[in-house]
Structure 1
Amino acid sequence: MLLAALLVQPAAAQTVQTRETALAQDAGEYARAYGVPQAEALRRLHAQHDSVAATDAIAARYRDRLAGISVQHRPDYRYIVYLTGDDPVPEQTIRAGGMRVPIVFRTGAKASRDRVVWAITYHQAAIRAALPSPPSMGLDPRTGELVVIVGNAIAAADGGARAIDAELEKLTGVPVQVRVLERVEANLGLHGGGRLDGIDPGNGKRYRCTTGYAVTDGTRSGITTAAHCLDDMTYYDPQGGPIPLSFVGQWGWGYHDVQIHTGAAPERPLIYSDTARTIERPVEAQIAKPSTRAGDFVCHRGESSGYSCAEVELLDFAPAADLCGGPCLPTWVTVAGPSCKGGDSGGPVFSGTTAFGVVKGASYRRDGSCAFYFYMSLDYLPAPWRLVVEGGARPALLNSPP
């Protein structure tokens, strides 16, 4: 979205949201997605934010048994905690967002989250070598399985998905779920959520990216985008006015895909939260990656696809292609489509006024539609750079136990 830090615009030119109006905008998308009244959608998004400390405390308490924590939206709103072993844990209820939210414990998972993530990391090269083309893979906290995403041709050969399941389970020692999707994964090719354009000197073609968040190293103010974007880019305000930026550096290996530019110091850390770039919202907090749950309802704004919201799907995701200077580490987070396009790279992922990460890439179906996109958590901003939040303090991390 927009980085208000790099723009100087008349105050009347934009509408700046409060935390409540920002959540209300996202709640409109939630209400349409799940068929609930706007007021109920708003309560649930408040609960999503307010419950982080409680689910973090549960994750810490059951660390050795934890397979995953997820959000259930239908038929009612609750949190599901999936554990290894057979020892039962009684249901709990927490007060969050002005409502009582059940936390239900399921047992019988075959592997913990830590074990699945270790299996992805340790066996990634062997998994890629075992298949005709490299798959993408990640953890599904709803099932506690290592999800391996392959194309139709691979699934149809030599016994199909079931045979691949068995082979990879034997290789990794953890439960595997093969998903079939004909897809192509690719990087999505200053105010957060704003437009960046540049010309590649190597081929003379123009490329577009999206700005992410205002950051600081304690001395300088900057704006983020994706590392795979061009180094020499110009920011364009909503009226089309160019604002030159100064390249600081890019970090694009393994678990990074972030680039930082400097420009005029921001008046406030704002991001655009609508497709037309007429509405801004302040950035007030940052959520840590370990606190992110499958089913969290998040939004993003890309210069090509605009503003949209959807559920977090896979955690600890490693894309199929060599998009990280080689194979990517399993540190990325996926969000369901259908809204992502080339040019969204670097754009902000958020919920209300809380920042989650910056868009890296997407998986497209054969017809060109967006299956899902994936982002880099702001946990991986390169030191000493950190997120700038409203009020200028260090960002509040939504991951502290109650």
Structure 2
Amino acid sequence: MRVSSILLPLLLAASPAGAADPVRLSPAEALDRDAGLYATAFAVPADEARRRLEQQRASVQVSDMLRLRYRDRLASISVVHRPDWHLLVRLTAGERPADQLLEANGLAIPVRFEVGAPVTRAQALRLLDSERYRLPTLVPGYRGAGVDPRSGGLIVMQRPGADARPVADVEQALAAAVGLPVRIRRLDALLVDSAAIGGGRVDGPNPDGRRFRCTTGFVVKAPDGALGITTAAHCPDTLTWRGTDGEERLLPMLGAWGAAQNDVQIHGGVGPAEPLVFSNTGKTEVRPVTSWATRPMTRPGDWLCLRGESSGYACSEVELTDFAPAGDLCGGLCTSSWVTMRGPQCRRGDSGAPIFLGSVAYGVLKGGAYLPDGSCAFSYYQSVDYLPDGWRVATVR
């Protein structure tokens, strides 16, 4: 796993004479890059892809309004891409509202409704949090669980071969035990933090003497105005920044938070850092960070991107916004506050990688679920609204 991402300010401040600076994209150009990958993924023209991503960003205010309007019945709000782009609102039993065409920032936001969800999202979250201690004892080969936006129940990850019962029998027994519909996803994948051995853009020593590589995330600001850079808390405490021009700089750790809902540490020594993110695999382009989005602002189906040292630049859809990884990956049991993204890209070495859309920061990568061939089944990240108290993502002025 290589590591990189945002210590670009160090690169710009200390590049030797004659070294080529990366191209600085405008916020509009950054969104165009993400729209290019969207157009390929969903087989739509480039202008349609750009329009849909503008709808996605604008529709956050529509989601907030719908969340309040239907808070007593709301099971989920998802972004749907096929056969056309729209928001899908799932509600518990009762009258089905008429589909709507709302407006946000001058854009039309189609909204469609489904009814019949067994419980609200709030109720499902409470149940998941109360049952996450028991689920590993009920599900052989348990690999984590989340609130299923499709059914309003739970989606439970299970290792194939760990349970001889048919999937339908497991779902029925588990539904009876927890009192909610359950969808079993059998996945021959190992959930691990995205760290790996070897040198890279940011690396440091492990207690056993080996070197680990990680990816830097976002420039952050302390209450007193001091600047730092994020990476994952399971990365080494002492890290060395390695610029594309060969520069090395020691980054002292200012603090680490690695339990429950957190996997982030903050390093100082970044110099006159600017809120920039490497924007492509080859690190020839950078994008500014102009704002950030919270977990409540994130919906299943949202199209988001990352820039990791091993995976490079890649985009995919959000799958779950309420996921609790299995085991002790969070210094003990994890909360259900993690957000998952579908594959194909996540590799060891991407730990701490920035998650973004256009110039908006969303989160920092924790880890992934890796199939036997080493490919990525899904990744999961910590939303930026779980940064330590007082710290916030730095943005351009």
Scaled by the length of structure 1, what TM-score is found? 0.92
Structure 1 unpaired stretches of 5+: 392-402
Contact 2:24 2:286 in 1 (8 A): yes
Q: CA deviation at 1:163?
A: 1.7
Tell me, yes or no, if the aligned pair for 1:185 and 1:321 is still in contact at 8 Å: no
Which residue of structure 2 aligns with residue 147 of structure 1? 155
Match for residue 129 of structure 1 among 131, 137, 141? 137
- Alpha-carbon separation, structure 2, partners of 1:110 and 1:283: 39
1:301-320 to 2 correspondences below 5 Å: 301-320=307-326
Matches within 5 A, 1:185-264: 185-189=191-195, 195-200=201-206, 202-219=207-224, 220-264=226-270
| Aligned pairs for 1:321-332 within 5 A | 321-332=327-338
- Give matches, 1:166-181, under 5 Å: 166-181=172-187
Query: What residue identity is the alignment partner of 2:6?
Result: L
Structure 2 residue 341 is the aligned partner of structure 1 residue 335: yes
In the TM superposition, what whole-angstrom CA distance separates every residue of 1:179-209 from its partner, at most 9, and x where no partner exists?
Answer: 11111000000xxxx9211122x21111100
1:90 CA drift (Å): 1.2
Checking the alignment, whether the CA contact within 8 Å between 2:38 and 2:49 is kept in structure 1 is yes
Given candidates 327, 335, 353, the residue that maps to 2:359 is 353
The Cα shift of 1:34 comes to 0.2
Deviating runs (4+, > 4 A) in structure 1? 9-12, 96-99
Structure 1 counterpart SS, 2:356: strand
Q: Is residue 2:360 matched to residue 1:365?
A: no
Q: Write the distance in 1 (CA, Å) between the matches of 2:116 and 2:361.
A: 34
- The aligned length equals 384
**For residues 260 and 103 of structure 1, what CA distance do their matches in structure 2 show?**
40
Q: What is the SS of the residue equivalent to 2:265?
A: strand
DSSP 3-state at the match of 1:28: helix
CA distance in 1, matches of 2:14, 2:31: 24
Q: What SS class does the counterpart of residue 13 from structure 1 fall into?
A: coil
Any conservation in 2 of the 1:83–1:105 contact (CA below 8 Å)? yes
Pick which of 210-219 and 349-358 moved more: 210-219
CA RMSD in angstroms, aligned pairs only: 1.5
Q: Report the Cα offset of residue 61 of structure 1.
A: 1.5
- Pick one of 57, 60, 77 that aligns with 1:69: 77
Q: Which amino acid aligns with 1:144?
A: G
Rounded to whole Å, the distance in 1 between the matches of 2:10 and 2:395 is 14
AA of the residue aligned to 1:15: V
Q: In the aligned structure 2, how far is the partner of 1:37 from the partner of 1:374?
A: 29
Q: Is the 8 A contact 2:310 2:348 kept in 1?
A: yes
Given candidates 252, 271, 289, the residue that maps to 2:277 is: 271
Moved more, 126-135 or 348-357: 126-135
Identity %: 44
Moved more, 55-64 or 260-269: 260-269
Between 94-103 and 140-149, the greater mean CA deviation after superposition: 94-103
Which among 35, 38, 61 is matched to residue 53 of structure 1?
61
Distance (Å, rounded) in 2 between the aligned partners of 1:333 and 1:180: 19
The unaligned stretches of length 5 or more in structure 2 are none
Counterpart-to-counterpart distance in 1, 2:105 and 2:256: 39
